[in-house]
Amino acid sequence: MALKCASLWVCARNPCSNLGASDCGSGNSGAALISFKLDLEKFRKWECCRFGALTQQAITPVEDEKPHMPGVESSGAIERTRGNEPRGFHKDLNLLPKPLTANGLSSSPSDGSKVRVAYQGLPGAYSEAAALKAYPKCETVPCDQFEEVFKAVELWLVDKAVLPIENSVGGSIHRNYDLLLRHRLHIVGEVQLQVNHCLLGLPGTRKEEIKSVLSHPMALAQCDMMLCDLGVLRISAYDTAGAAQMVASTGVRETGAIASAKAAEIYGLDILAEKIQDDNDNITRFLILAREPIIPGTDRPYKTSIVFTLEEGPGVLFKALSVFALRSINLSKIESRPWKQHPLSVVDNSNEGSAKHFDYLFFIDFEASMAEPRAQHALGHLQEFARFLRVLGSYPIDTVL
Ligand SMILES: O=C(O)C(=O)C[C@]1(C(=O)O)C=C[C@@H](O)C=C1
């Protein structure tokens, strides 16, 4: 039976409606949210639970719908997209795709001929490279803000979104953890990307002339040592490619940008220094999001991402994590975020007065597929401690850099 699971939500103990709409979904009324007791049998059979207006519309079949699995089908995706122009070729910037803005979100969606993948930033951003690693033939759609990346998928303007979630040097991108919870998209894949930063400047500039450097805060943090050595002023930009474009358009020789070699090519800048990140192994992990979850298999290594909250009490987190240890399931990531709808608990202790505790959401990635009984049992067990539990996605691990 080929069932398509439109959404996999599990709300334990507290019904979703108690969490507030923004914790459970994207501003739709509580009626759009379904809470159900985790039924392992149904879970096993991938019983379908559908809700939300968007999922009722027909999906236009698209070419190359499956994420590209590096090493499984073909490789060299990013190189193929670089084109044949000689380095330094100065393209007409007006011909580049314009980022989506909140207004632009009302324009018509894909014609169905290609997978359209939204990302935050301008052409030449690392997020675009991540989209092309996952879908080598996709049409990439730049967006101004992360929020617009989510909206572009929710409003059917694109098929998928690519979102940076953590970096091996800079750590987690907290804003994107919060957005994952606020929206109802599903994680359908991940991309690990080696990020090699370059210092870019106007053509003919020498590195010693640079007095200030523009880039995304993550990129500035990843190149901290080099920036300290240069003794330059750091200026934040929305994305690395946007920083390169700004340097190209303002034409100030003393201002450089940290961005990719591809951004140098697109915006006609010189590469003044290469591989300037503090750690040579500078890897950013991106998530691929879609309106519908994929049906997980067991044919290759899978990862499952969940978010939950716990009751207050000694050892509760220890018990929650033990559900994975007991089944030899490896955890690859744990992140805690303030539970914004419920930031503080007041606990009355008659001897010592009342105490306030912060309430947290725990995001966990574990290395098992939801198609495996051990993963289903672990979540059934976790439900005994969790006040709220949601599966964000079960998807193939990206094993090729
Ligand atoms: O600015 C870009 O090029 C991005 O794709 C964003 C981003 C990030 O958010 O971490 C992605 C990869 C690098 O770690 C630096 C910046």
Quick one: which atom of ligand 1 is closest to the CA of 239? 1
Q: Is 324 a catalytic residue?
A: no
Cα(43) to ligand 1 centroid in Å equals 36
Are residues 238 and 141 part of one domain?
Answer: yes
Alpha-carbon distance 180 to 392, whole Å?
8
Tokens of 236: 């934040």
Alpha-carbon distance 155 to 139, whole Å?
17
How many domains are contained in the chain?
A: 2
Identity of the residue numbered 324: F
Are residues 255 and 109 part of one domain?
Answer: yes
The last residue of one of the domains, among 291, 324, 342, is 291
Angle between helices 174-182 and 146-154 (to 10 degrees): 30
- Find out whether the beta carbon of 216 lies less than 6 Å from any atom of ligand 1: yes
Q: Is residue 29 part of a domain?
A: yes
> Which residue CA neighbors atom 12 of ligand 1 most closely?
126
Q: Is residue 4 part of a domain?
A: no
Quick one: which atom of ligand 1 is closest to the CA of 237? 1
Alpha-carbon distance 193 to 191, whole Å?
6
> Which residue CA neighbors atom 13 of ligand 1 most closely?
219
Q: 240, 284, 304, 309: which one is catalytic?
A: 284
Are residues 223 and 92 part of one domain?
Answer: yes
**Nearest Cα to Cα of residue 256 among 195, 222, 208:** 208
Q: 286, 308, 324, 388: which one is catalytic?
A: 286
Alpha-carbon distance 132 to 191, whole Å?
10
Q: Is residue 3 part of a domain?
A: no
Quick one: which atom of ligand 1 is closest to the CA of 215? 1
Query: For position 240, which CATH number holds?
Result: 3.40.190.10
Q: Is residue 265 part of a domain?
A: yes
Q: Is residue 346 part of a domain?
A: yes
Query: For position 387, which CATH number holds?
Result: 3.30.70.260
Are residues 47 and 72 part of one domain?
Answer: no
Question: What pLDDT does 184 receive?
Answer: 93
DSSP state of 130: H
Question: What pLDDT does 339 receive?
Answer: 82
Question: For residue 9, what is the enclosing H or E element?
Answer: strand 9-10
Cα(286) to ligand 1 centroid in Å equals 9
- Find out whether the beta carbon of 239 lies less than 6 Å from any atom of ligand 1: yes
Cα(126) to ligand 1 centroid in Å equals 5
- Find out whether the beta carbon of 149 lies less than 6 Å from any atom of ligand 1: no
Structural domain of residue 108, as residue ranges? 64-291
Question: What pLDDT does 161 receive?
Answer: 98
Are residues 285 and 301 part of one domain?
Answer: no
Question: What pLDDT does 100 receive?
Answer: 54
Q: Is residue 345 part of a domain?
A: yes
Q: Are 320 and 314 in contact (CB under 8 A)?
A: no
Q: Is 286 a catalytic residue?
A: yes
For the CA atoms of 293, 297, 303, 309, what is the dihedral angle to 10 degrees? Answer: 60
Q: Is residue 2 part of a domain?
A: no
Are residues 227 and 113 part of one domain?
Answer: yes
The last residue of one of the domains, among 291, 308, 342, is 291
Are residues 174 and 73 part of one domain?
Answer: yes
* Vertex 168 angle, CA 164 and 170, to 5°: 75
- Find out whether the beta carbon of 378 lies less than 6 Å from any atom of ligand 1: no
- Residue-by-residue pLDDT tens, the chain, 401 positions: 333 333 333 333 332 322 232 333 333 333 222 222 333 333 333 222 222 222 223 223 333 334 443 333 222 222 223 333 334 444 565 566 655 543 333 333 334 458 999 999 999 999 999 999 999 999 999 999 999 999 999 999 999 999 999 999 989 999 999 999 999 999 999 999 999 999 999 999 999 999 999 999 999 999 999 999 999 999 999 999 999 999 999 999 999 999 999 999 999 999 999 999 999 999 999 999 999 999 999 999 999 999 999 988 889 999 999 999 999 999 999 999 988 666 555 555 555 555 566 789 999 999 999 999 999 999 999 999 899 999 999 999 998 87
Q: Are 313 and 150 in contact (CB under 8 A)?
A: no
Are residues 239 and 325 part of one domain?
Answer: no
Are residues 282 and 158 part of one domain?
Answer: yes
Question: What pLDDT does 217 receive?
Answer: 94
Cα(275) to ligand 1 centroid in Å equals 15
Question: What pLDDT does 359 receive?
Answer: 83
| End-to-end alpha carbon distance in the chain | 35
Are residues 302 and 222 part of one domain?
Answer: no
Are residues 193 and 82 part of one domain?
Answer: yes
The count of residues in the chain is 401
Q: Is residue 401 part of a domain?
A: no
Question: What pLDDT does 51 receive?
Answer: 22
Could you give the count of Cα atoms lying within 13 Å of 9 in the half-sphere of its Cβ? Answer: 26
Cα(9) to ligand 1 centroid in Å equals 30
Q: How far from 164 is each of 135, 292, 379, CA to CA, in Å?
A: 16, 20, 26
Alpha-carbon distance 345 to 277, whole Å?
42
The last residue of one of the domains, among 248, 275, 291, is 291
Residue the block writes with tokens 């207004």: 103
Are residues 172 and 76 part of one domain?
Answer: yes
